[in-house]
Structure 1
């Protein structure tokens, strides 16, 4: 059964004739996402501090926002989560995920560094990957100045951001770099081919549709030949061993549900520690909707608790 609160949200979107994202230009889709987030997101909780910075990257400067959790001393050295926002590699920014990053910081006791990576179609694949790898390396290299512990660095993200977090771990492992201590993958996209059964069973009616998936994918990757590149589809990587422990969260009415489960299984099958939790009654994107979906707050609390334990 679909969560009644999720059903009420879907019915309201239909009643108000909110245009589907695949009918909008990327510029309009970005603007609508920023403007409409206030309806579904909780009020931003206070944190100890926020700071906007920039990391150096191969395509130029990468905007970052650093959060320190409420109640922490300015000079305390904290574990850190490098976070990549969702939005189909096409929409989303530091502001659309500000509340979630604040909640994760406060709940986990970690600093959070949110990454404003480049988006398609202006910057197609693999620009987002390049930015996220560079940002993660930058945080590790500047840990002392940021007052964070590079040995207790996690990466995470939701949807497209979960995809990017998984790919960052693969890139760093293959490069012989220091690995993150943990990866938090919230309904991640892991297979650009969109062939898992849930892409059929959940193709329509649950906010993220087959049409919107094609829209996002088309703006990120213009050439279908690149769908099988593991930097786009981490499920297709040849080796899932020697990666950081993971928490993979999915939603039961999400087209991406099955590929998220497949990624957790691939990690476990290769000997990488992975925990898997499916919020069976939920839709894609629910974790940022805590104002209207109570289970979103449960999911955020779960993520924060697992981060706290993993980075202790």
Structure 2
């Protein structure tokens, strides 16, 4: 379908990209990290707690969302997007709140270290370490001890996929479900291997020619993009990974890699639910979920998380 009329209006106000423009992370963060809605207009949950988690690598800030009063909860770890160099707990607050409310999960949003100050594998280690920390603090978190899901958008989806690979290898934690919102799963931009990188190359917020620079901060120091922990789509064996929900957007350069990953998971015997939202662009969570065509994404996500929840 065509781009949604309301999204098209926004796109028309965005100036044409300058091929000589260079990203300055600090400046980019000032714009990207600002949430759209004031706190009082965001979805309300029972409680929101700020905490700092000490891990072997660093002290990591988290924000813990408890959806309602209760004695025991399934837990969802959330890894925000932002191309590994922007985004934070506040930028994704309005995304995490409705996920908690619709799912009934206690959600822990992870403020992992950002590139270029902390390139790969800092963010990945932080996400894994905080997830492991959660399993070690069952009583404090009122975790049900059974259900541990992880979710993330864009680069956060990359971290989700990579954390599942580490968890499968180390066998220290058991992740029950994974959710990838328009994930970035292939960080090798030496060629455009996916049709969506060409079809949606320009004019839809994220542009294909900028992806290499966006991810260069995370890949600082000559990181091998064939490494499945960097580009999870390169993993040949996807057997035994958690049940997955993959959400893609029609007008997203990264659409096809997300859908290919879902296909590969399914071929490996992993239960997968794939949904493409039509007429919308990358990064639509929080920005366009007020529109009727996309507001169901949180209920859809909640239904996936609530399905087949293990009793404690």
Q: TM-score under structure 2 normalisation? A: 0.92
Instruction: Measure the CA separation in 2 of the matches of 1:99 and 1:188.
Output: 19
Q: TM-score under structure 1 normalisation? A: 0.92
- Corresponding residue of 1:130: 125
Runs (5+) with no aligned partner, structure 1: none
Give the deviation of 1:294 after TM superposition: 3.6
- Corresponding residue of 1:113: 108
Structure 1 runs (4+) greater than 6 angstroms displaced: 17-20, 39-42
Instruction: Measure the CA separation in 1 of the matches of 2:37 and 2:109.
Output: 22
- Identify which of 202, 205, 215 aligns with 1:204: 202
- Corresponding residue of 1:47: 45
Q: Does 1:148 align with 2:146?
A: no
Give the deviation of 1:220 after TM superposition: 0.7
Q: Name the stretch that deviates more: 192-201 or 242-251.
A: 192-201
Runs (5+) with no aligned partner, structure 2: none
CA-based RMSD of the aligned residues comes to 2.3
Instruction: Measure the CA separation in 2 of the matches of 1:294 and 1:216.
Output: 31
- Identify which of 280, 283, 293 aligns with 2:281: 283
Question: Structure 1 220/227 Cα, relative in aligned 2: closer, same or farther at 3 Å?
Answer: same
Contact 1:156–1:184 (CA<8 Å) still a contact in 2? yes
Deviations 1:21-67 (A, max 9, x none): x64410111111133x3269993121100111122223211111000
Q: How does 1:160-309 map to 2 (within 5 A)?
A: 160-194=155-189, 195-223=193-221, 226-290=224-288, 293-309=291-307
Aligned residue pairs: how many? Answer: 306
Q: Name the stretch that deviates more: 89-98 or 138-147.
A: 138-147
- Corresponding residue of 2:27: 28
